[in-house]
């Protein structure tokens, strides 16, 4: 043992702190779903961990220790318009398997109540169907999951009704083309393809986007853009554009945008388009109302070290003593690190939400370019901390769109939004050079080459191909 100069801490504490740091870091990178999984597996393995039985306020889901309503809900006067309301939502109810959820799922008063999905869709297509078709449609619609994806197969339905699969297919494609677009698709991939196809009728879509989805969805969701680029024979940047377009305009889980639900069990979790980690809403319809920021943090406040386990640590059988001890340490560490993770995210989000209020409410054009580094400075944390916290997390905006948190750090988003407007308002197709000039007038000094890049990123065709296409409607 070295006699180190520092006597401030017991030697055994040393590795604990570094482990602590390391784990905090790695936890920070996890999305809420990933964290949820980790906690669950840890709960199953580690007897020192348990979930407390604290109740949560039925309206705001904050933890409450007794039967009093939580302060936040009982004193709504304390909110000032500029201060965002931030709270941490365990949301564990959404992860409960369907057997329990059907009747125990509490009202979700963060999303507007709408009629249930099957009837909503049925109303749209009913006029086009005869009686027999309607029965099939109903059959299909009752087999949707909460994401709006089909849980049965075409063959199965066809056999059930003794009709050719092609007929079922036809009806299904009608369903897929109604709102929410892509509903009834058997998988996210097909949902995306349908959406892309329909969208293509009204606006320009990036070339090869269909191939990227049909052949490279795996790579796409893993962000392996260079890889995918090679596969399709296009540049990485192109792939990036496609990916942007998809996350902007398409939704692999058709019902989720309108519905905003969080479910989804062990599927692939490295996906941008899955459950949000943060949900931002307006408290009221007024654009001046404060923002409500819900930070999804699985089991927040519920996970704790079992006090029974802790107090009986001394009575451990000799052969198990080490094991117990390490379990206890592990549990304490995990709880602490999760707290820290949550704390970091809360501070981060608070700052972002205040800074980017305009953007959140009024859209892309109002995003203030802020680098992670400057935010790190403001929050007095290391840059890498911000990077980790931002990477791979997603936010649901008041519009219902789920976007990557990194969108808040897009340096050129506001310019691209301005560009989109210019194109939208143009009467004759403007060349990149002309667009660059207009942008310059608006205060965005960008090179003509850059305009071309932005244009491509937004999936806008070059001027000579833009000619006749917007004859549909202009108001």
Partner DNA sequence: CTATGGCACGGATT
Partner DNA sequence: AATCCGTGCCATAG
The runs of H, that is alpha helices, within 356-371 are: 357-362
Considering the complex, state which of residue 168 and residue 403 has its C-beta at the smaller distance from DNA.
403
Binding mask 411-450 for DNA (x = CB under 7 A): xx------------------xxxx----------xxxxxx
The answer to the question of residue 409 lying near DNA (CB under 7 A) is yes
Considering the complex, state which of residue 43 and residue 446 has its C-beta at the smaller distance from DNA.
446
Considering the complex, state which of residue 338 and residue 389 has its C-beta at the smaller distance from DNA.
389
Instruction: Locate 80 and state its tokens.
Output: 């000032």
The answer to the question of residue 227 lying near DNA (CB under 7 A) is no
- The backbone torsions φ and ψ at residue 316, rounded to the nearest 5 degrees and listed phi first, read -65, 140
Instruction: Locate 234 and state its tokens.
Output: 């296009």
Which residues, in sequence order, are CB contacts of 237 under 8 Å at separation 6+? 453, 456
The answer to the question of residue 309 lying near DNA (CB under 7 A) is no
- Judged by CB under 7 A, the residue of 36, 281, 330, 455 near DNA is 455
- Taking phi over 0 as left and psi of -120 to 50 as alpha, with beta for the rest, 391 belongs to beta
> Residues binding DNA: what is the number (CB under 7 A)?
31
Considering the complex, state which of residue 360 and residue 461 has its C-beta at the smaller distance from DNA.
461
Could you tell me which of 195, 294, 197, 293 has the C-alpha nearest to residue 247? Answer: 195
Could you tell me which of 184, 183, 240 has the C-alpha nearest to residue 212? Answer: 240
Considering the complex, state which of residue 438 and residue 452 has its C-beta at the smaller distance from DNA.
452
DSSP classification of residue 92: G
Binding region for DNA (CB under 7 A) out of 50-58, 117-125, 229-237, 360-368? 229-237
Binding mask 331-370 for DNA (x = CB under 7 A): ----------------------------------------
Could you tell me which of 360, 468, 338 has the C-alpha nearest to residue 27? Answer: 338
Least gap, CB of 406 to DNA (angstroms): 8
Considering the complex, state which of residue 124 and residue 387 has its C-beta at the smaller distance from DNA.
387
Cβ 71 vs Cβ 60: under 8 Å: no
- Cis omega before residue 319 (within 30°)? no
Interacting residue ranges for DNA, rule: CB under 7 A: 234-236, 238, 240, 371-373, 383, 387, 409-412, 431-434, 445-450, 452-453, 455-456, 462-464
């Amino acid at each position: 043992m070295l006699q180190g100069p520092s006597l401030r801490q017991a030697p055994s504490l040393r590795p604990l702190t570094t482990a602590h740091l390391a784990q905090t870091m790695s936890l920070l990178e996890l999305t809420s779903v990933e964290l949820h999984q980790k906690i669950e597996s840890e709960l199953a393995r580690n007897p020192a961990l348990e979930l407390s039985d604290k109740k949560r306020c039925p309206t705001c889901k904050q933890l409450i220790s007794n039967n009093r309503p939580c302060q936040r809900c009982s004193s709504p006067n304390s909110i000032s318009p500029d201060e965002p309301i931030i709270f941490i939502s365990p949301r564990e109810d959404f992860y409960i398997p369907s057997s329990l959820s059907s009747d125990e799922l509490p009202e979700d008063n963060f999303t507007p109540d709408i009629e249930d999905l099957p009837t909503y869709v049925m109303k749209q297509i009913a006029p086009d169907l005869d009686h027999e078709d309607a029965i099939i449609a109903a059959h299909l619609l009752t087999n949707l999951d909460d994401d709006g994806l089909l849980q049965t197969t075409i063959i199965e339905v066809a056999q059930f009704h003794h009709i050719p699969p092609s007929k079922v297919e036809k009806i299904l494609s009608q369903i897929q083309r109604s709102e929410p677009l892509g509903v009834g698709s058997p998988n996210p991939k097909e949902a995306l393809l349908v959406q892309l196809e329909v969208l293509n009728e009204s606006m320009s879509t990036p070339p090869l986007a269909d191939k990227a989805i049909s052949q490279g969805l795996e790579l796409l969701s893993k962000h392996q853009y260079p890889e995918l680029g090679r596969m399709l024979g296009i540049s990485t940047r192109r792939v990036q554009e496609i990916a942007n377009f998809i996350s902007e305009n398409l939704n692999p889980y058709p019902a989720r945008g309108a519905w905003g639900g969080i479910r989804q069990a062990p599927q692939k979790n490295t996906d941008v388009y899955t459950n949000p980690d943060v949900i931002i809403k307006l408290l009221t319809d007024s654009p001046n109302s404060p923002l409500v920021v819900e930070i999804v943090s699985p089991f927040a406040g519920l996970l704790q070290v079992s006090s029974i386990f802790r107090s009986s640590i001394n009575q451990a059988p000799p052969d198990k003593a080490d094991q117990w001890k390490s379990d206890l340490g592990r549990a304490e560490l995990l709880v602490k690190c999760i707290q820290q993770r949550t704390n970091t995210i809360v501070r981060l989000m608070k700052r972002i939400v205040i800074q980017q209020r305009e953007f959140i409410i009024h859209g892309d054009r109002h995003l203030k370019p802020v680098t992670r580094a400057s935010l790190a400075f403001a929050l007095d944390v290391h840059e890498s901390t911000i990077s980790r916290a931002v990477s791979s997390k997603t936010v649901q905006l008041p519009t219902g769109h789920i976007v990557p948190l990194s969108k808040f750090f897009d340096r050129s988003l506001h310019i691209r939004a301005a560009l989109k407007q210019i194109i939208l308002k143009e009467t004759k197709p403007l060349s990149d050079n002309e667009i660059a000039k207009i942008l310059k007038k608006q205060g965005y000094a960008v090179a003509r080459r850059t305009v071309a890049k932005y244009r491509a990123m937004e999936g806008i065709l070059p001027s000579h191909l833009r000619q006749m296409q917007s004859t549909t409607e202009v108001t």
